[in-house]
Amino acid sequence: MSLRSGFVIVLVLAFLLLPLACREPSGTTTVTRVIDGDTVIIEGGYHVRYIGIDAPESGEFYYLEAKQINEGLVAGKNVRLERDVSDKDSYGRLLRYVYVGDDFVNAEIVRQGCAWAKAYPPDVKYQVYLEAMEEEARQSKRGIWR
């Protein structure tokens, strides 16, 4: 093999592998930081916003509790990310349903009363289930429903 043909092979491989190196995470990754009750940072520095829920923001009632529950569920853990229709929100955050093993984190946060079920069309794949979890939290007077 000549030096030129070796260079061409390396160039072709680099061209073919570049999209894999630059793609955004999907599948399984690790949570490196919890921002609040519905937003985390994963490996690679990507911000992930949980689809279908809305947790209290900094300074709002139940913010710290919601953040702590989220930390307990995902901090430092391997999570599986599931996309709905939209990839990102207007802030550039990935929009995902999040799972630790078989546990649906978005729903668990709502079930514990740490967030409201909130539809953000077109991403509504599990909205009926999330709303049922909110109703359970309300009736049980958990979290923000105390």
Q: What is the dihedral of CA 116, 122, 128, 133, to 10 degrees?
A: -20
Candidate list 24, 33, 43, 57, residue with the active-site label: 57
Q: Does residue 57 carry a catalytic annotation?
A: yes
Contacts of 81 (CB under 8 A, 6+ apart): 25, 26, 27, 28, 29, 42, 48, 94, 96, 97, 98, 99
CB atoms within 10 A of CB 96: 27
Candidate list 93, 96, 111, 134, residue with the active-site label: 93
Task: Yes or no: say if 87 and 65 are a contact pair by the CB < 8 Å rule.
Answer: no
Candidate list 24, 49, 65, 80, residue with the active-site label: 49
* Closest CA relative to residue 134, chosen from 118, 123, 120, 121: 118
Q: Does residue 134 carry a catalytic annotation?
A: no
Active site residues: 49, 57, 93
